[in-house]
Structure 1
Amino acid sequence: MRVTLEEVGVTIDGLPIVEDVSLDVRSGERLALLGPSGSGKSTVLRVIAGLQPPTAGRVLLDGTDVTGVPPHRRGIGLVFQDAALFPHRDVAGNVAFAPSVARLPAAEQAARVAEALQLVGLAGTERRDVTTLSGGEGQRVALARALAPRPGVLLLDEPLGALDGPLRQRLQADLRALFERLGLTVVHVTHDVGEAFALGDRIAILREGRLAQVAAPDELWASPSDDWVARFLGIHNVVRDGDRATVTRPEAVRIVEGDDAVVTAADRDGAVVRVRLRRNDGTALESVVVGVGTPRVGSHVGVEIDPAGVVEVSVWPAEGRERAPDGAPARGY
């Protein structure tokens, strides 16, 4: 199912939360909606689901205007950060909620429950008490509950946000495999850049209720639209010069023998080490190194920069727009 937003805006109590958001999510595509807290991501998701009426613009599903259609008639599944399972129902009772509301025959309800639990890797858990589930299992049950009605679109609002690192990474891989298998249209809200890159065919970055950039992960990393986007993605090598900025991706900074800079920090994240450098002219650089035997803090090194990893971008805020203090969003939910 194709999801289209046309110039959507949301104003609450006179405060603009989302402004002029237009998106076209192709059938079977996975779109990651990425942005800092308060940028309007969840509001956009609620507009698609029908939980938040827009004050401007339209929502279309497969070309049909559903802006005024209630949530239960849109054929959309929704998973929140909090699994919000019904504690008085067992696993099967939770997963069967939508099929039972639709008054499907008991045999069909049971088949839907078994199918959904199989998809999320929880086959055979129908009679478990949901209060005995781990955090990861609870989110899988919530996902199964959203899949049981066989929706055309699946919306996920920070579904992994409350999980710890290793479990979060494992569920990322499981979700990616599941989405590829089902071919569902997915809109996934997250503030985590790595999660967006792992799960999105394309990434839409929201900033202060507006779209800052929409691109495939590789394109986004290679060519951020402005210096704010580059920094939000985790690129620290950004130098402003008037209304333009030069962005140097960390993988383009190569550490060699020499005396061009001193190592000020080296932080390992698994196989990757982020090395901070202070050049002899006082400027700072970050490089990424893979493997062991990385330079020690305080050692002197040479620096080579691959020109292919350097791009010139515009500076944000554009003329006439104000940046919130410390780069925080000025408004938005």
Structure 2
Amino acid sequence: MASSNLTTVTEFILMGFNDHPNMKIPLFLVFLGFYLISILGNVGMFILIQVDIQLHTPMYFFLSHLSLLDACYTSVITPQILATLTTSKTIISYCRCAAQFFFFTICAGTECFLLAVMAYDRYIAISSPLLYTVTMNPRICWALVLGAYICGVSGAILRTTCTFSLSFCDNNQINFFFCDLPPLLKLACSDTTNSEIVIVFFGNFVIVANALVILTSYLLIIKAILKVKSSGGRAKTFSTCASHLTAVALFFGTLIFMYIRSSSGKSLEEEKVVSVFYTVVIPMLNPLIYSLRNKDVKTAFTKITSRFQVLHSM
């Protein structure tokens, strides 16, 4: 508990970009562009999958939820970044900071589990193509997605409770651009040992467990692909996993750097850059990754565009 002569914090001041005052306008324009592209891309992908019956398959069902998560993910963080860039200092209340942390953690945790589910889906599609629609029926798909959301919410409740049960007093300046775990732990004036043990153990468990599921799925996928006789067939089969592998490498790579790698090897500036990457850049890149090399998505987009052109010309 804080000492009686310390003042309990009721609000925080986000100081993330004060080190670069001359860059605030260019950064504001860059982040605004990223945010608009991310929202248009992810919401557009979600709507496209919903309206085109050719995309009503398990793979695109999971992709639609990934797009929904990414839209929510970036919306929790990017508006706060834009607000921070428009003022000399951004004040955020204690409750709002806790809410931002909670929803951000839900999105990040759920995305970990959903990417693992998508890896399992690719394994079933490649190893048992004839039984794919039977194995991954709508009931199973919904169960897997709901399981991902439940795990994400449960983890967020645990991490938020552990973090905001700490005492914050006197110093309320967060040298970051949103309420993330590392700067909050540094700011706490009570003993963080027990909270850190629980948070770090659970966070590492979630990342490592889902990474192992993904790794195992792809080892089995490689084993199944090696059974394909023609080299062209092997390349075509594995190409269906390329987009997912790219998304996994980007997302888990940044999470491992941010939360698992030893803090002694990281600077605050590195943490800021990496956190921008996985909260702003990756949600923008995912719809591009899944659409640029995907013929089904391109075909669906062309059909929708053609319908709008026909309606507009009538």
| Fold-level similarity (TM above 0.5) | no
TM-score under structure 2 length normalisation: 0.22
Q: 1 or 2, which has the higher strand percentage?
A: 1
- TM-score (normalised: structure 1): 0.21
Q: Say which one has the larger Rg.
A: 1
Counting helix residues as a fraction of each chain, which structure ranks higher? 2
- Structure number with the bigger relative contact order (C-alpha 8 A, sep ≥ 6) is 2
